[in-house]
Every structure is written in C-alpha cells, then in structure tokens.
C-alpha cells in the first residue's frame, strides 16, 4: 500500500510557494501606492525602474518553481512505485525545510553566501533523494 507520508512535504512546499506568490502583489501594490514605481513598470514583467526589494519576492517565487520541480517528481515517483521509507520521508522534509529557510533569507536580509549554502545543501539533499529512489527502484 502506498504511504501518503511522502506527499505531506509536497503539500507543504506547494503551500509555501503559494504564500510567496501572494506576497508578490502585496509588495507591488505597496510600491505603487508609495510612488516607488508606476503600475506600468510591471507591464512586461519588471522594468529596470523596479527596486530590488520589490523584485525579490518574484525572483524567490521563480526559484520555488525551478529546481523544486525535481522534488515534486521524485516524491510522486516514490509514492507511485511504493518506495516510501522513513529515510525518504526525512529527506523530503529536510529539503522542504531548507527551501523555506532559503526563502526566508532571500526575502529578509538576503545574504548571498547564506542563500548559496542553503541552496547547495538543499540540492545535495534532493540528489540523495533521487539516488535513494533510483537504487530502491533497481533493487
């Protein structure tokens, strides 16, 4: 029987991604109301006139749609092939935790080295999750 526990981190990361998505219009509308930008500065995405603080939520959202796609795929693969294990579930939750902390750093004080370390470690965890799935599938 399939263990749905591997899907809980998937829902958690999707929920976090949704929260970051909701932050984008909030930051943009606030910037327009404060006259930091014009609404037309977003006509083609973001113009050069958009301040970094207004760009960052959108960039973070894009980050949450890039590499995490591989996380969603491997978790679904683990679920569908009934390969779920406590180790895989732990790795999945670790990945989600690292991605959330990466987002928090990016959206707050935005220290590049801290973000880089979190990004690299999360990618390492994701790689281990894929290797675990592949080796369990082969055996």
The CATH number of whichever domain residue 28 belongs to comes to: 1.20.120
Domain that holds residue 86: 4-138
Q: 6: Cβ–Cβ under 8 A, 6 or more apart, which residues?
A: 75, 78, 79, 84, 88, 89, 92
Q: pLDDT tens digits, residue range 69-124?
A: 999 999 999 999 998 999 999 999 999 999 999 999 999 999 999 999 999 999 99
| CA separation for the pair 16, 136 (Å, rounded) | 29
On average, the pLDDT of the chain sits at 95
pTM above 0.85, yes or no: yes
The number of distinct structural domains making up the chain is: 1
Closest of 60, 129, 64, 62 to residue 94, by C-alpha: 129
| CA separation for the pair 48, 41 (Å, rounded) | 8
């Amino acid at each position: 029987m399939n263990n749905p526990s591997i899907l809980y981190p998937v829902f958690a990361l999707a929920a976090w991604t949704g929260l970051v998505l909701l932050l984008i219009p909030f930051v943009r509308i606030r910037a327009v109301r404060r006259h930091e930008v014009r609404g037309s500065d977003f006509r083609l995405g973001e113009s050069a006139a958009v301040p970094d603080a207004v760009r960052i939520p959108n960039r973070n959202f894009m980050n949450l749609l890039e590499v995490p796609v591989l996380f969603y795929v491997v978790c679904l693969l683990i679920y569908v092939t009934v390969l779920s294990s406590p180790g895989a579930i732990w790795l999945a939750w670790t990945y989600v935790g690292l991605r959330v902390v990466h987002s928090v750093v990016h959206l707050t004080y935005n220290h590049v080295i801290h973000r880089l370390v979190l990004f690299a470690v999360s990618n390492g965890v994701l790689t281990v999750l894929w290797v675990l799935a592949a080796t369990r599938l082969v055996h």
